[in-house]
Every structure is written in C-alpha cells, then in structure tokens.
C-alpha cells in the first residue's frame, strides 16, 4: 500500500555545529584534550567485546578529539548540494555560541556572517533552515563561570539568542532553542562523563533549573523580536518499557516517563511546536532483558520502530504540531539503516493516519560525525553520507537513496 504524507511535509536531516564543523574552541574541545587518553583506556570496560572487535579505533585517543570533524564549516556548500540532490527540503543545524561570542559580550562578526551565508546557501537550494540555538557546547568563558550550574547562565544565553535571532530573523522561521536537555544534563551534570563533567543530584538540579530559565527567557525573547517565529525544543523521548510485574511496572513507568519528560511538559506553553527525538526502546526488567542481536545498532541500542508510533500517540494530547527533530542509527556498514528508515517512517505514517499532526522528519544525521552523548567520538557512524575523516571525502550511502525516494515522492510503500 502506498501512503502519501501530508502536503508540505518537511524532509531533511540534522547536524550540530561541534559534531560536524571542525576546529571549534569551546568547553568540549578543552575537555577532549584533557580526557582523550583516559577515554581510550576506558573503552575496554565501557563497550562490549563485539563492539571493541568491530571498532578498534575506540582505543585510539584521536577518536575522542573532534579536531577537523567533518570539516562542514568549510564544506557546507558541497554538503547542501548533496542534501538537495537527495530531495531534502529542510535542514537542521546549530549556531556555535563559542564562535559567535568567543569573549563575554563581544560578537565575532566573521562568525555571524558565516552563519548568514550558511542560511542563504540553504535558502538558495530551496531548503528550509531549522536553527538550533544550544546543542550542548558553550564558550569557555561561560564554562569558567560555572556553566549551567550558575544563576547568571540564563541571562548570558538570552543575550546570545537575542543577537542571533535579530541577525537572521528575516531568513529563519523555525528556532529550536535547546537539544535533549535530559540527555545533556544527565551525562554532563549528573554522571559527569561529558563536559562539563559535573556530578551528583545538586548539580543536576541546578543545571536543569538554570537551563530551563534560560530556555524560557530565550523563547520569550524570540517571540518579542519576531512574533511570527516558530519555537520548539528537541526533546529526547525514547520508548521505555518496564517489565517488573504489572502494578510495579505501571508505577515505575509513570516515574520514568515523568523524569524523562519534565522539560518537555514545562516548556509546552512557550513552544509553537513539539520536537521529538526518537532512537530506541529501553526495556527495564529483572533479570536483565536480553536483546535480539539482529535488532541492535552499533551502539547496542535496540531497533524498535513501533516505539516511535507509541511516542507520537502519547504526545498528541499536548495539542501542538509535532516535528521529528531526530531519528537515526549508528550503522557503520549501512546494513540496517535502509530498513530502519523505512520501518520508522511507516510508523510515522501510521501515527499521522491515527490523528497525530506530524509535520517534519529530520534524519540524524546528514553526515558521519563526532558522536556526542557520553563522549563516544568518531567510531559510531550515524551519517546518510559517509565521511572519510582522513580525506574528508563524502560517499552517499545506499540508505540515503532509500530515504531520498521517500522524500522526493512524499510517500512510502507500506
């Protein structure tokens, strides 16, 4: 059966500045230099044997230094040509705060012009820009003042957002204020395994609260500067399934859902759309759930397309249009990505059919890049386009063509 997506549906892919641009100087690049050796040593205990055998580069400290990354800062024209050839009509990217405001209160005009050209390059190709304002990286001065654990962080972020929005408001309609607050705060402020490496409940509460204040101030500022702007958050909403006896499971599920969606719920009244990042199912059970090895990604995440349907149905009650701001798979040999894309989009089609107002799908990611959460580095390959990090050669993967067919036809065979 052929399913036609709604007219004007947006099809594209997402990236983030530090993961693809190369040569950033921010809190992550500093952390990478200090921790690369340690991370390479820890790979022995952090990853499973099958992952270690398949990706020995995880033992090389260079894996954990973003360096030139995918050199997208210089090659964005070439990358957008590829996106256009693949039928994308939208693209999500982030503006790197540390480039725009390298010193507190001082704007770098060259960086501001750079992103203006990036936006124009997208528009020239008929690609709608979705601009992410905070995808986890910060200027060093901001970090030195305590990052999100400090009360003044919200005012700093608002100043940056005001500047960016005022500069690009004529060319940009869609603003995504923050990416996956739960994941970044979890690893960065509670576990301490990614920048800024803070740990414990107090830091988590401080970080989360200030990030929320920052979001609120930013969202209000955007509305004030451009009342017709579309505003959202990219929420990480994976599917949790709890199997510990029916009553306990219900209670536990409710707690997990609450904890993973605090930001989502609190942010709703400031947003005009709801961003959903979906990757996998997490089964919580005792004894531990044994995942079918044919259904796992290179990161060991379970491939579970039905989960995106359940998640979409569960956010319908909020009454906002939904944009799937990320969905993708770490798959170095591209053996599972074609099916992953098709199966997830078939579930998206099902949710639309059942009444969810889904308006966009962004695949994560356009390019192989420096994988962020928990500081994993280059070995996990998320790109529709393969990047040879030594030569920067781009090779379009078969899955990209599968996806392109759906984008171009605005339809899927299910």
Segment near ligand IFM (CB under 6 A), from 44-52, 107-115, 260-268, 364-372?
Answer: 364-372
The pair of structure tokens assigned to 10 is 């947006």
Measured distance CA(358)–CA(349) in Å, rounded: 9
Q: Residue ranges of the alpha helices (H) in 14-71?
A: 17-20, 27-46, 49-54
* Nearest to ligand IFM of 99, 376 (CB atom): 376
In the bound complex, what is the minimum distance in angstroms from residue 184's beta carbon to ligand IFM?
Answer: 8
| Paired sense of beta strands 90-94 and 128-132, if any | parallel
Classify 296 as helix, strand or coil: strand
Among 239, 372, 389, 403, binds ligand IFM (CB under 6 A): 372
Among 182, 277, 347, 399, binds ligand IFM (CB under 6 A): 277
CB nearest ligand IFM: which residue? 372
371 touches ligand IFM by CB under 6 A:
yes
Segment near ligand IFM (CB under 6 A), from 66-74, 170-178, 367-375, 393-401?
Answer: 367-375
Segment near ligand IFM (CB under 6 A), from 121-129, 189-197, 370-378, 404-412?
Answer: 370-378
Could you give the string, one character per residue 18-47, with x where binding to ligand IFM holds by CB under 6 A and - elsewhere? -x----------------------------
Segment near ligand IFM (CB under 6 A), from 80-88, 257-265, 305-313, 371-379?
Answer: 371-379
The pair of structure tokens assigned to 291 is 């995942």
The pair of structure tokens assigned to 411 is 């339809």
Task: Give the total of residues touching ligand IFM (CB under 6 A).
Answer: 11
334 touches ligand IFM by CB under 6 A:
no
Among 61, 192, 300, 373, binds ligand IFM (CB under 6 A): 373
Among 273, 304, 364, 389, binds ligand IFM (CB under 6 A): 364
16 touches ligand IFM by CB under 6 A:
yes
* Nearest to ligand IFM of 212, 278 (CB atom): 278
The pair of structure tokens assigned to 59 is 């033992």
- Contact 43/161 with Cβ under 8 angstroms? no
15 touches ligand IFM by CB under 6 A:
no
70 touches ligand IFM by CB under 6 A:
no
Measured distance CA(101)–CA(142) in Å, rounded: 10
178-237: which residues touch ligand IFM (CB under 6 A)? 179-180
Across-strand partners of 277? Answer: 236, 326
Name the phi and psi angles at 155, rounded to 5: -70, -40
Classify 49 as helix, strand or coil: helix
In the bound complex, what is the minimum distance in angstroms from residue 279's beta carbon to ligand IFM?
Answer: 7
In the bound complex, what is the minimum distance in angstroms from residue 120's beta carbon to ligand IFM?
Answer: 25
302-331: which residues touch ligand IFM (CB under 6 A)? 326
Write the CB contacts of 198 (distance below 8 Å, at least 6 apart in sequence): 147, 149, 188, 189, 190, 192, 207
402 touches ligand IFM by CB under 6 A:
no
143-182: which residues touch ligand IFM (CB under 6 A)? 179-180
User: By CB neighbour count within 10 A (0-12 exposed, 13-18 middle, 19+ buried), where does 317 fall?
Assistant: exposed
Distance in angstroms between the alpha carbons of the first and the last residue of the chain: 5
Angle between helices 398-409 and 337-353 (to 10 degrees): 20
Distance of CA 112 to the CA centre of its chain: 22
* Nearest to ligand IFM of 158, 238 (CB atom): 238
- Contact 144/188 with Cβ under 8 angstroms? no
The pair of structure tokens assigned to 308 is 């995106």
Q: Site residues (CB under 6 A) for ligand IFM?
A: 16, 19, 179-180, 277, 326, 364, 371-373, 382
């Amino acid at each position: 059966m052929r399913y036609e997506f709604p007219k004007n549906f947006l099809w594209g892919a997402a990236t983030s500045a530090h993961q693809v641009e190369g040569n950033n100087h921010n809190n992550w690049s500093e952390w990478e230099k200090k921790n690369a050796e340690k991370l390479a040593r820890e790979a022995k205990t952090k990853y499973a044997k099958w992952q270690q055998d398949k990706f020995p580069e995880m033992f090389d400290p260079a894996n954990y230094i973003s360096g030139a990354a995918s050199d997208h800062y210089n090659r964005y024209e070439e990358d957008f040509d590829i996106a256009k050839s693949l039928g994308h009509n939208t693209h999500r990217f982030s503006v790197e705060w540390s480039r725009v405001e390298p010193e507190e209160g001082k704007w770098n005009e060259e960086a501001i012009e750079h992103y203006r050209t990036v936006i124009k390059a997208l528009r020239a190709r008929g690609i709608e820009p979705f601009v992410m304002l905070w995808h986890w990286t910060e200027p060093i001065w901001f970090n030195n003042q305590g990052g999100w654990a400090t009360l003044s962080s919200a005012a700093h972020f608002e100043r940056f957002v005001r500047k960016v929005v005022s500069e690009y408001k004529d060319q940009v309609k869609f603003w995504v204020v923050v990416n996956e607050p739960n994941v970044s705060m979890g690893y960065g402020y509670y576990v301490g395994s990614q920048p800024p490496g803070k740990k414990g409940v107090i830091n988590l509460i401080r970080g989360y609260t200030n990030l929320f204040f920052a979001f609120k101030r930013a969202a209000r500022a955007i509305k004030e500067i451009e009342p017709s702007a579309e505003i959202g958050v990219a929420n990480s909403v994976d599917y949790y399934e709890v199997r510990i006896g029916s009553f306990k499971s219900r209670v536990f599920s409710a707690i997990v859902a609450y904890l993973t969606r605090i930001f989502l719920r609190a942010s709703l009244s400031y947003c005009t759309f709801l961003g959903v990042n979906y990757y996998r199912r997490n089964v919580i059970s005792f004894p531990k759930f044994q995942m079918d090895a044919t259904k796992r990604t290179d990161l060991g995440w379970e491939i579970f397309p039905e989960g995106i349907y359940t998640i979409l149905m569960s956010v319908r009650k909020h009454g906002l249009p939904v944009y799937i701001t990320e969905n993708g798979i770490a798959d170095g040999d591209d053996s599972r990505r074609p099916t992953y894309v098709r199966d997830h989009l078939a579930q998206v089609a099902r949710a639309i059919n059942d009444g969810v107002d889904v308006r966009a799908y962004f695949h994560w990611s356009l390019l192989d890049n420096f994988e962020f959460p928990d500081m994993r580095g280059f070995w996990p390959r998320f790109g529709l386009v393969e990047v040879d990090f030594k030569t920067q050669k781009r090779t379009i993967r078969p899955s990209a063509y599968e996806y392109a067919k759906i984008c171009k036809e605005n339809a899927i065979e299910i």
